[in-house]
């Protein structure tokens, strides 16, 4: 799909899935440029997207998180990152703003998403992965408004209980009190025990 077809698709789909309010703001305020579809089109048209410069745009924050956490994972990995991020926005345990969730840090300690504190450039280098990340981000926006919304990921419907993940090559200590629920691509996914 070329850039023009992608923008047209997003322009047609986004008004159907993004309601009039977004994180306590109107859709126009949440999506610079007037509408959510305009925000997606603008993100796709940026000559050199830099996630450090897009920290105040909800759709951009979600797309950046999907891109940096799962650009080589394919559709399932990207949807997983989008689902976890939006589940956190809807949880009382995390900030209620997508940009605050993505860029959340624990003081001088670890970041919630490692790419936000890795010391590397956060510029987008892979344009096709960026296009896919923006498309998935636009679709994932629906999660915030419908907590029961399930997404087909790796052949199964995944709901609001997916809250944490990590790359399968590491074993972080924070997983001790969580229940492993899935392995999707290179990501191991967790929820609270007893859910």
Q: Which residue has 């999506």 as its token pair?
A: 31
At 23, list the tokens: 């994180």
* Tens-digit pLDDT profile for residues 136-173: 998 887 655 565 667 778 888 777 888 999 888 888 88
pLDDT at 35: 54
* Tens-digit pLDDT profile for residues 99-136: 999 999 766 667 788 898 877 889 999 999 999 999 99
Domain positions in the chain are: 3-145
pLDDT at 169: 82
Distance CA(130)–CA(113), nearest Å, equals 18
Query: What does residue 93 show for φ and ψ, rounded to 5 degrees?
Result: -85, -5
Distance CA(10)–CA(133), nearest Å, equals 12
Confidence of residue 27 (pLDDT cuts 50, 70, 90): very low
Query: pTM for the complete prediction?
Result: 0.77
Q: CA-CA distances (angstroms) from residue 115 to 111, 132, 144?
A: 8, 18, 23
Sheet with 178-184: strands ordered across: 164-167, 187-192, 178-184
HSE value, Cβ hemisphere, 13 Å, CA-based, for 25: 16
């Amino acid at each position: 799909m070329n850039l023009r077809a992608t923008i047209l698709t997003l322009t047609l789909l986004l008004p159907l899935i993004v309601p009039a309010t977004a994180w306590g703001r109107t859709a126009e305020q949440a999506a610079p440029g007037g509408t959510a579809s305009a925000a997606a089109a603008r993100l796709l048209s940026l000559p050199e997207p830099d996630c450090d410069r897009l920290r105040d745009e909800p759709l951009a924050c979600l797309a950046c998180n999907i891109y940096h956490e799962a650009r080589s994972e394919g559709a399932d990995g990207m949807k997983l990152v989008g689902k976890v991020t939006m589940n956190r926005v809807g949880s009382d345990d995390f900030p209620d703003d997508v940009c605050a969730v993505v860029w959340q840090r624990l003081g001088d300690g670890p970041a919630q998403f490692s790419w936000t504190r890795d010391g590397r450039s956060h510029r987008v280098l892979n344009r096709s992965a960026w296009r896919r990340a923006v498309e998935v981000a636009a679709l994932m926006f629906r999660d915030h408004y419908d907590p029961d919304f399930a997404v087909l990921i790796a052949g199964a419907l995944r709901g609001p209980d997916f809250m944490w993940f990590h790359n399968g090559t590491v074993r972080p200590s924070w997983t001790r009190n969580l229940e492993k629920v899935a392995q999707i691509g290179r990501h191991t996914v967790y929820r609270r025990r007893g859910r």
